Amino acid sequence: MSTVLLWTVGILAAAVGVAVSIALHELGHLLPAKRFGVKVTQYMVGFGPTLFSRRRGETEYGVKAIPLGGYVRMIGMFPPQPGDAPGRVRASSTGRWALMAEEARQASFVEIAPGEESRTFHRLPVWKRIVVMAGGPLVNLLLALVLTAVAASGIGRPGYVPTLSAVSQCVQPAGSTATTCAADDPVAPGAAAGLRPGDEVVAFDGAPVRDWESLSAAIRERGGQPVQLLVERDGQRLTVSATPVLTEREVLTATGEATGRTEEVGFLGVSPSIAVVRTPLAEVPGVVAEQVEGTAAIVARLPQRLYDVARAAFGSAPRDPNGPIGVVGIGRLAGELNARPAIIPGDELAERTSRIVSLLAGLNVALFVFNLIPLLPFDGGHIAGALWEVLKKALFRLRRRPDPGPVDVAKAMPLAYGVSVVLVGMSVLLLYADIVRPVTLDR
């Protein structure tokens, strides 16, 4: 299959995956809302002009032109102020910010027909409002778990395994590019102990070896100390004694990148093999939890991250491969991932599928974290308002004061408009950066 075709297939797969993820996110709002009796007038995937739609019962289902999100329109999202009549803006709401809030409040009542007052969102008990608004992000979290399980546990990914692919014959200085041993180079401990390519390390000093990472860490920690390795060779197990030698080696980051620093660690002189590695299903939640933590760290530093993106897009600074990317960037990465040659020959389709599925799992983690930001117009803004209502009512009860009524989330609409403007600006910046200075797999 040609590279161009592989690129195209990867981009299309990502586009379909993004659309499905958004559609299921909105379904996570739609189903509980309908289950709780709220009238839902629209279920839309995308923004802008409507490409097509169809009405089923009281709800219009459709797809819009700009695939940057979606929405579910429920009547009565905001509670009226005491004494207000739906459809009428208070004459006293003359301030700009107050008028924004009042207009948003009244707009939420436009579609309420006589007799439907009990079907408004704001009349739901707090826990039901939280279920409706948390439904979308929780669907994305569930999708991330399922997709990660498929990619990591079902298909598997190329990774290092503790089966030796090579055994160094000597110990060379850190940073050496020599391909042969010099006469004065000391013999490597692994070669001196009789280890051979193809040996599978089963245990290290009595502790079972689960993966190459744990074996490598154990070797580095035991420099200068004699150890025993249980290896499997040609179907038989044998014990090998060796003493990792202390030597200077470069310090790497958690992702394997060079730091420019060295440290004295244990060195055995063995290299791992590359094979399909399947993550145990029980470890999938931990993998997704790490992704959530990493994504939350990016969101917490989003202003700095966006500044770095702008420096890269409009200057000569390098683009951070771990920074935010837009829809175009996701498509480009999917194309690159699918066009890249397989690391393990023999099952290219499975490896490429695992790459795309992993990318979509990461996208759903991002949707989960981003939508829980406790600001309108995000789902987290409505959840924060509901939680504040619970806390406020509890405080009033403790003070033996009358019920304060529902929290007026509409008062946060001026902030929501500001956040929306920032989101549009961020989308434009990422779109431009993904075109002129895209994140690539080679960086």
Is residue 157 within 8 Å of 347, Cβ to Cβ?
Answer: no
**3-state SS, one letter per residue, for 8-37:** HHHHHHHHHHHHHHHHHHHHHHHHHHHHCC
Q: CA-CA distance, 187 to 346, in Å (whole number)?
A: 36
Q: 221-246: per-residue pLDDT in tens? A: 888 899 999 999 998 999 999 999 88
Question: How does residue 181 score in pLDDT terms, banded at 50, 70 and 90?
Answer: confident
Break the chain into its structural domains and give their ranges: 158-277
Burial of 350 (0-12, 13-18, 19+ CB in 10 A): middle
Q: Is 26 a catalytic residue?
A: yes
Tokens 């070669």 correspond to what residue? 191
Beta carbons of 441 and 340 less than 8 angstroms apart? yes
Amino acid at site 54: R
Mean pLDDT of 271-281: 89
3-state secondary structure of 259: strand
What confidence tens digit (pLDDT) does each residue in 278-314 have?
A: 888 999 999 999 999 999 998 889 889 888 889 888 9
pLDDT in tens, 119-174: 889 889 999 999 999 999 999 999 999 999 999 999 988 889 999 999 988 887 76
| Angstrom distance (rounded) from CA 419 to CA 405 | 27
CATH assignment, 158-277 = 2.30.42.10
Q: 3-class SS at 403?
A: coil
Q: Which residue, chain included where needed, has tokens 């999708």?
A: 143
Which is catalytic among the residues 26, 336, 351, 389?
26
Nearest partner of 76 among 120, 46, 26, 138, judged by Cα: 120
Share above pLDDT 70 across residues of the chain, in percent, rounded to a whole number: 88
Contact 121, 30 (CB under 8 A): no
**Cα 438 to the center of its chain, rounded Å:** 19
The two three-digit tokens of residue 376, written as one number = 């309108």
- In tens, the pLDDT along 374-417 reads 988 889 998 998 999 889 888 988 988 888 878 777 777 788 88
Structure tokens of 211?
A: 């993966």
pTM above 0.85, yes or no: no
